[in-house]
C-alpha cells in the first residue's frame, strides 16, 4: 500500500511575537505610494525613514516586523549578506532605527509568481481575488524555483515562502533554520500531495 507524501509546500511568512517589532516614526507614511508594497520597485520614490521600537523589553530579532506593513520586514546588512536566498527576489530600502542603518525588505517583481489556482482557493467573500484566501490552491507546474515569493492576487497582504527539498542553499525557510535566525514563523498554507504508484 502506498502513502501520500508532501512535495512542494507553501508557507505564510509571519513574525514571532516573542521579539521586538518596529513602527514608522511617522505613521502617516503608510498612506503614501512608497509604502504600497505590491511587488514593484520603490527605489525611485523612496527616502530613508525613521523607525521606532515597539515592545522594547523583548529581545531583538534578526528579522523585524514593521507594524502596518505585512509584506515587508527589516534586517541589517549582515543578515542580507548571509542570506543569499533573498537575493534577486527582494528589494532592500534604507531605514534608520536610532543610530543604526537597516534595510526594509520587500518582494520585487522577480519574486511575484502567477502561480495561484484562484478558482480552487477558498475566498472569504466567495469571489476569487477578493481578500486573502482562507484555503490556498496553487498550480505546481508554475512553482519552478525556491525562495521568498508573493502572488499577484495577495501581494499587498502577505509574503509566502516556497519549499521543496529543504535545501538551505536555495530555500529561504531552510536557510533561516540552518542559520538559527530569529523573528520569523512559517505557517504552512498549502502542500502538493504526491501519491507514489504501487
Please say if the pLDDT value at position 29 is more than 90. yes
Compute the average pLDDT of residues 126-154: 87
3-class state of residue 52 by DSSP: strand
Domain boundaries, the chain: 5-193
Which pLDDT score, from 0 to 100, does residue 194 have? 59
Measured CA to CA, the distance from residue 105 to residue 37 in angstroms comes to 10
pLDDT tens digits for 141-197?
A: 888 676 899 999 999 999 999 998 899 999 999 999 999 999 999 999 999 875 554
Which pLDDT score, from 0 to 100, does residue 198 have? 47
Which pLDDT score, from 0 to 100, does residue 1 have? 38
Which pLDDT score, from 0 to 100, does residue 46 have? 96
Which pLDDT score, from 0 to 100, does residue 182 have? 98
Measured CA to CA, the distance from residue 160 to residue 173 in angstroms comes to 10
Total Cβ atoms within 10 A of residue 113: 22
Please say if the pLDDT value at position 126 is more than 90. no
Which pLDDT score, from 0 to 100, does residue 3 have? 47
Measured CA to CA, the distance from residue 69 to residue 38 in angstroms comes to 11
Lookup result for grid cell 516586523: 65
Interacting residues of 190 by C-beta distance below 8 A, sequence separation 6+: 9, 10, 136, 137, 138
Which pLDDT score, from 0 to 100, does residue 146 have? 67
pLDDT tens digits for 35-87?
A: 999 999 999 999 989 999 999 899 999 999 999 999 999 999 999 999 999 99
Amino acid at each position: 500500500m502506498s502513502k501520500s507524501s508532501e512535495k512542494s509546500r507553501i508557507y505564510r511568512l509571519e513574525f514571532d511575537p516573542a521579539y521586538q517589532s518596529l513602527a514608522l516614526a511617522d505613521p502617516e507614511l503608510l498612506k503614501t505610494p512608497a509604502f504600497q508594497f505590491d511587488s514593484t520597485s520603490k527605489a525611485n520614490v523612496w527616502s530613508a525613514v525613521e523607525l521606532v521600537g515597539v515592545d522594547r523589553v523583548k529581545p531583538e530579532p534578526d528579522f523585524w516586523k514593521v507594524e502596518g506593513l505585512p509584506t515587508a520586514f527589516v534586517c541589517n546588512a549582515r543578515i542580507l549578506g548571509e542570506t543569499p536566498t533573498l537575493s534577486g527576489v527582494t528589494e532592500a530600502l534604507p531605514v534608520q532605527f536610532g543610530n543604526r542603518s537597516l534595510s526594509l525588505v520587500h518582494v520585487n517583481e522577480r519574486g511575484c509568481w502567477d502561480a495561484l489556482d484562484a478558482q480552487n482557493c477558498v475566498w472569504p467573500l466567495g469571489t476569487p481575488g477578493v481578500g486573502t484566501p482562507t484555503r490556498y490552491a496553487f498550480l505546481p507546474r508554475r512553482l519552478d524555483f525556491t525562495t521568498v515569493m508573493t502572488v499577484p492576487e495577495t501581494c499587498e497582504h502577505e509574503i509566502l515562502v516556497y519549499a521543496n527539498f529543504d535545501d538551505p542553499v536555495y530555500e529561504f525557510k531552510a536557510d533561516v533554520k540552518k542559520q538559527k535566525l530569529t523573528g520569523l514563523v512559517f505557517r504552512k498554507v498549502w502542500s502538493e500531495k504526491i501519491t507514489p504508484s504501487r
